[in-house]
Structures are given as structure tokens and as C-alpha cells.
Amino acid sequence: MAATFIFHLSQHGVFNEDEMRFYAAEVILGLEHMHRRYIVYRDLKPANILLDEHGHVRISDLGLACDFSKKKPHASVGTHGYMAPEVLSKQTAYDSSADWFSFGCMLYKLLKGHSPFRQHKTKDKHEIDRMTLTMNVELPDSFSKELKDLLEGLLQREIYNRLGCKGRGSDEVKEHPFFTGLDWQQVYMQKYTPPLIPPRGEVNAADAFDIGSFDEEDTKGIKLTEADQDLYKNFPLTISERWQNEVAETVLETINLETDKLEQKKKAKQKARFNDDEKESDCILHGYIKKLGGPFVSAWQTRYAKLFPNRLELHPESGQSKPELIFMDQIEEVSQDLITVKGEQCVQLKVSKGDTKIVLTNPDEIGLKEWSLSLRSAHKCSHELLGSMARKAGKIYGTSDRDKILYWGVGRPMEIKGNPSFIVCNSFSDLGLAIDLLGYRTVRSVGPVELT
């Protein structure tokens, strides 16, 4: 086996469209082979593409490959600049869709010499990830119309818009106009002439940034001597499909099972603690949901939610920090119907503060509908209660003059007008703030709060 694409880029320079088409076609067949066996590669990049002694493609390093036949992975693994948005969005499950995004990034590098999200050779991983999640790739005018359309299709942030992810997998990519004229059977039989034949016996990498992470404890201090080099020179290596399948079905499955067990054990422990907390409370509904948040509001974040008659609490999954509190009087509207956001069915809460919107979802359709119904019911009851308090204040204290009642919160601007006789609030914190602003020293609380 000869050098990687990275080495050839450093020696040969970038490839033209015809050369790139040859390599792209052979990589597509490799991805097709894995995806049909429900394996997502997760680390497609030039550094992992080898050329054999005849110049044909060999996909190497399946260390991050994962079986998604029974359960989709959600770990954020891979190489920055090639990872798909759904892979960067932690706790978001994905499948072969991730490989098609990485494939688009790899093709761009073969043509331009760098990832579309690694401009000016920056090595700031956070900046690369930010650009991947937010930046629209600008393609050079030198690219053909068909090439631009191919890359735009592969680099779609939304999975349901991405080429290769609309239901027909690799066939969608193979049928793209950029590959018009290719005989895919001839590609499979390796009948097309490779653009270049690698020098025999050379294995190199041009950039350590593009090499995956290794365990330093396992590699520290290891040096290859001349005797080692002589031993490995011209060493033939053939990995049978049977052995590859055995690795995928045993080693990788075992690793995934152990990780899943640890995650389930952690969640069960947290859920038991939350259940104990709610046994004696007035909690209407509680359980795990996902909230759209994170940098640029682009990632689904897992939260343990608790719905009470007057508020919604969103607890971080770790359970260590304070929960986010959303009071019912801050909510102007709960969406009547489920809406689609980032390919997921969601409930949307319109909050008066800052005119923001809170988007919640649940992988379980029945559970999501239960949250939607309970949120709408709690919101309606809360506002009806606030309205009845205002009417009751007039009857008890003999006033029907609405100008003498201060509605604090309830979706209205929090400002003092006139000289109110009563305050109608939804929480003691709002009540305390109103009293501080009014400057009253004595408060008698009987039903609605009367100021004296």
C-alpha cells in the first residue's frame, strides 16, 4: 500500500475535476459497501484514503466506524473540518448521513487543498466547528456547474436536504450529472486508468493535524529502527472481508454496548432521583426532552423537564447546575400544532421576554404529544386563574375600577401606572419586585394582595 491523498496533495498539488472524479467514484463505492451493511465510517478525509500500487483507492482506518443497524450513534467523533453538523451537535443521533457530508468536505480539499471550513489553515477547532455549523460554503467560479451542484448537495447542513440522504443512499450521488458518462460496473472492476501511480514503498503524511488522536501511553517512546524498516519494506497485507465483518460485529459492537450501558445506568440514576423529588409535589409531568440551544441555537440539548401549574423547569442532564425556569406568565403562546424544526416535530413556546421562542422535542411521538397537551393546558389554566383573581379583587374589596389594579406580568409590560390599590401577580418574586418599586411599607395578603 502506498501513500495517502495528503502526501500526494503535498507532492502533486491539487487535483483537477477529471482526476477528482476518478477518486470520488471509487470512494462512493466504498461508502456504498459500508452503508449497505449499516456501518457509518465517521472519519472520511484525505488522510485516510490510501492508493495501492496500481493507483486505486483503499479506504483505511475503521477505528471510528460504527454499526447503526440497531441503534444510531450520537457521539461527537471524527476530524474537525470534516465532521457533519449532526455529529458536532452532541446527543443528536445520526447514521450514514454523516459520511456524505464528510465526502463533500474531502472532495473540496482535493480540489482546493483545504477543507471548506478550515480557511487560512487555522487549527482552532472551536472556530472550525463554528464555521461548520453556521457558514454557507462559497464555491469558486472556476468550478463547473455540475461540480458546484454536487458539492452544494453534499454540504447541506439539514440532513433531509443533503444528497445521499433522501431515501436512495449512494444511488442519489452516483446518478448526479457530475458523474454522467461513468460506467459504474467499470469503476467497480477498476478498469479506468488512475490519474497517477504512487512511488513504490512510500508511506507519508503531510500534516499532523489531519492524523487522528492516539493514546500517548501506548505510543510514547516507540521508535522504528532500520531493522524494523527492512522488515516492513514491501510487506504484503490483505485484510479479508470476513475479518472486517468480524471486527465490525464483535469489537465495535462490544464497545458500543458498554458505552450504552454506562449511559443508561447514569440516566436511570438521575431519573430515580428526579422521581423521588416529585412524589410529594404538584408536578404535572416530568421526563427527558430535548431543547434547541447551544451556540447559535443550532444543537439539541437533553434536559430533564418538570412541568408545574405555574412554571416549566428544564434541568441540565448532569443535574449539577440550577435549572432554567420558565414561568407561565412569561409564555404568550404555546403552539397549537406541532411544527417541524431541523427535521424534528416540535412544540414551540413564545416567550414575552425578548420576544424569544423556546423549541422542545421528544424522540417518542406519543410522549411529545403528551408534553404539547400538558403545556397548553397548564398555560391556559394559569392565565384563567390570573384573570379570576382580578375579578375576585373587585368583589372582595368593593372596587370595580380596573385602573386601581396592577397586573404585574401576565404577558404585559412591567411598569407602574397611576396609584394601584391591588397587585395581581403569578409569583412571589414578581410580587416582591412590584412592592419594591411602589415603595409600600405594609402589605396585607388575603387572596389578591392589597396595598395599604
- Which positions are catalytic? 43
Backbone φ and ψ for 211, nearest 5 degrees, come out as -95, 135
Q: Is the dihedral of CA 141, 102, 30, 166 positive or negative?
A: negative
- For residue 287, give the DSSP letter: E
Between CA 305 and CA 281, with CA 383 as vertex, the angle to 5 degrees is 40
Residues 6+ apart with CB under 8 A from 393: 399, 405, 422, 424, 447, 448, 450
> How far, CA to CA in Å, does 66 sit from each of 12, 58, 84, 253, 262?
33, 18, 15, 8, 18
CA distance 375 to 338: 12
CA distance 438 to 442: 11
Q: What is the dihedral of CA 403, 404, 405, 407, to 10 degrees?
A: 50
CA distance 425 to 386: 7
Among the listed residues 59, 61, 65, 69, the one whose alpha carbon sits nearest the alpha carbon of residue 77: 65
Among the listed residues 106, 108, 166, the one whose alpha carbon sits nearest the alpha carbon of residue 137: 108
* Residue 87 near residue 78, CB atoms below 8 Å: yes
> How far, CA to CA in Å, does 206 sit from each of 3, 13, 409?
10, 12, 62
Residues 6+ apart with CB under 8 A from 315: 274, 303, 304, 305, 306, 323
* Residue 410 near residue 386, CB atoms below 8 Å: yes
* Residue 86 near residue 97, CB atoms below 8 Å: yes
106 alpha carbon, distance to own chain's centre: 20
Please give the grid coordinates belonging to residue 347: 412544540
